[in-house]
Structure 1
């Protein structure tokens, strides 16, 4: 599997705030507000910026695919409290990332 060449997480979001050159994207939203996606380790190369933009563009499809995979894994697995690396535990970890993506 190819390694992601962009900025490693976590990425953060803020509304109407400026983060001194660490901004991934800045765009107008409802009522002329803006949302920034930023990281304390934002890229300094065009290659990393391009990789970040491709990830952002693919995000809706990645979210949908992850939601489908989590549903399948949880349907076909059982909780194993003594096995933190079980498929079920990984699906639960993925659910927390899905909740973050949905603003929960």
Structure 2
């Protein structure tokens, strides 16, 4: 199944009318994907910065994981009865979650 959300790449940037303490993630067509508040506490601020980077990278991460699993399945074949803790099963579950299948 294909991702039906805003197309990548997603960028981190602020719109001039948004609050100064907010990070905004936007798609290439300038659609707002998310706002992440920037707390004043340094530890929480560092965590918010990391969250923003992860959200902005999400489409590329999903696409890379899908390509990696396709490569694996094409080369080695699929393994339908995997242990749920196996890295392939974890990757498939993450993809299903991102695509709204879980």
**Superposition TM-score tier, normalisation by shorter sequence:** 0.3 to 0.5
TM-score (norm 2): 0.48
